[in-house]
Amino acid sequence: MSKYHVNEKGYYGQFGGAYIPEMLHPNVEELRINYLKIINTEAFKRDFDHLLKTYVGRPTPLYFASRLSEKYATKIYLKREDLCHTGAHKVNNTIGQILLAKRLGKSKIIAETGAGQHGVATATVCALMGMECIVYMGEIDMARQKPNVERMKILGAQVIPATSGSKTLKDATNEAMRHWINNPNDTHYIIGSVVGPHPYPDMVARFQSVISAEMQNQLQEVEGRNTPDHVIACVGGGSNAAGAFYHFLNDEEVNLIAAEAAGKGLNSGKSAATTSLGKTGVLHGSKTILMQTEDGQVVEPYSISAGLDYPGIGPIHAHLFDAGRAEFYSITDEEAMTAGVELSKMEGIIPAIESAHALAVFGNRRFEKDEIVVVNLSGRGDKDLETYIKWGKY
């Protein structure tokens, strides 16, 4: 297709692939053989678009942030994914995957979650479709993210604690994989970002690509051209960024900017700035860039925002970084919180702290006065109220 999209072998440049145990092969292979056939049918597109419109609330607005634009002397638009049902972009993907699972004849859904946001988005669509839902979550994460655990339970999902290892996301992922190996026929595994073995990164990017498709139409309407000069998005695993970049990947006139979490600082030992600190390795079934020790052990990541607290990035972003197609910035907790409070006070929008990392790019880089800059506002800050309160500087 192009050098920035996945190739027929499941790779983005040297990254991607499917590095999975033999036992998982039939499940992933079933998905690989069928996903494009199914999601490209008219019937699938109709169902997907209908739910995005009537259930999620799409298209989300493209909002011209006039006060912020004035402050940074450029033209800033916000793509309002924070207005999606459940408060973030994640539901675009879970809707797509559950429709796919139904067409594959699956009756049960499993997922893993760290902070609980993907677990909630998955439990939501399972309730919508009347499908059984099991979410694996590290025991420590369950204690840290109690409100999301309760949300999932209200929505009818079963939340199973992962009690091995560090009792966090990595261990929950292992449990979910094990479950899938043991229940290959009736179960679909919904992965929440552009990570995991091929075809997940490509499948998730396609579901999220509705974000940049809408941007094109909306920019055409307000600016008379369907491309921005820059698109900025935060990167945890990279699904909101992949969706915001997708339709601009081949247009090198559009500059792509990714914001990673530097946590307490690049040299603090408490960060999640994968491209700055990581090197090539295999994580969650794909070859990518990840933070690791000299002998290849995955380093425990840290960020003030739970959604960016991930030791790797999706293979598409490893490739965009490697090829120099996207600019990467590492944003500290401090910079992100400051940018989040600034948006609240200047535009009346309290952003998710993940999204605030994208906004903090304005403090790190200049833009020309007449340039069009679109920031993908991946989520709303309601879930982060405790963190804002603890931060206190507002």
Ligand X SMILES: *Cc1c(COP(=O)(O)O)cnc(C)c1O
**Using rule CB under 6 A, residue 234 touches ligand X:** yes
Nearer to ligand X, 80 or 167 (CB): 80
Nearer to ligand X, 75 or 194 (CB): 194
Please tell me the distance from the alpha carbon of residue 6 to that of residue 190, in angstroms, as a whole number: 20
Among 96, 138, 236, 301, binds ligand X (CB under 6 A): 236
Nearer to ligand X, 335 or 354 (CB): 354
Q: Please, what is the minimum distance in Å from the beta carbon of residue 251 to ligand X?
A: 21
Q: Which of 81, 112, 214, 354 is catalytic?
A: 112
Nearer to ligand X, 6 or 75 (CB): 6
Sheet holding 255-263, edge to edge: 62-64, 75-80, 372-377, 230-234, 255-263, 326-332
Residue 270 and residue 263 in contact, taking contact as beta carbons nearer than 8 Å:
yes
**Segment lying near ligand X (by CB under 6 A), choices 147-155, 209-217, 230-238, 290-298:** 230-238
Among 134, 215, 272, 352, binds ligand X (CB under 6 A): 352
Q: Compute the Cα dihedral for 333, 336, 341, 344 and give only its sign.
A: negative
Strand ranges (E), 29-86: 62-64, 75-80
239 assigned to active site:
no
Please tell me the distance from the alpha carbon of residue 113 to that of residue 173, in angstroms, as a whole number: 8
Among 113, 124, 193, 288, binds ligand X (CB under 6 A): 193
Binding mask 294-333 for ligand X (x = CB under 6 A): -------------xx-------------------------
Nearer to ligand X, 301 or 379 (CB): 379
In this structure, what are the phi and psi dihedrals at residue 367, rounded to the nearest 5 degrees? -125, 155
Residue 237 and residue 201 in contact, taking contact as beta carbons nearer than 8 Å:
no
In this structure, what are the phi and psi dihedrals at residue 382, rounded to the nearest 5 degrees? -50, -45
Amino acid letter, 367:
F
Binding mask 103-142 for ligand X (x = CB under 6 A): --------------x-------------------------
Length of the chain as a residue count: 394
Q: Name the residue number minimizing CB distance to ligand X.
A: 379
- Residue 134's nearest CA partner among 113, 153, 109 is 109
Residue 235 and residue 260 in contact, taking contact as beta carbons nearer than 8 Å:
yes
Q: Please, what is the minimum distance in Å from the beta carbon of residue 119 to ligand X?
A: 11
**Using rule CB under 6 A, residue 378 touches ligand X:** yes
**Segment lying near ligand X (by CB under 6 A), choices 28-36, 228-236, 269-277, 330-338:** 228-236
3 assigned to active site:
no
Nearer to ligand X, 31 or 88 (CB): 88
**Using rule CB under 6 A, residue 263 touches ligand X:** no
Nearer to ligand X, 347 or 354 (CB): 354
Q: Strands 75-80, 62-64: parallel, antiparallel or unpaired by DSSP?
A: antiparallel
Q: Please, what is the minimum distance in Å from the beta carbon of residue 375 to ligand X?
A: 12
Please tell me the distance from the alpha carbon of residue 241 to that of residue 314, in angstroms, as a whole number: 10
Structure tokens belonging to residue 86:
């459940």
Tell me how many degrees the CA angle 298-299-303 measures, rounded to the nearest 5: 130
294 assigned to active site:
no
Query: What is the contact surface with ligand X in residues (CB under 6 A)?
Result: 88, 90, 117, 193, 234-240, 307-308, 352, 354-355, 378-379
Known catalytic residues? 90, 112, 378
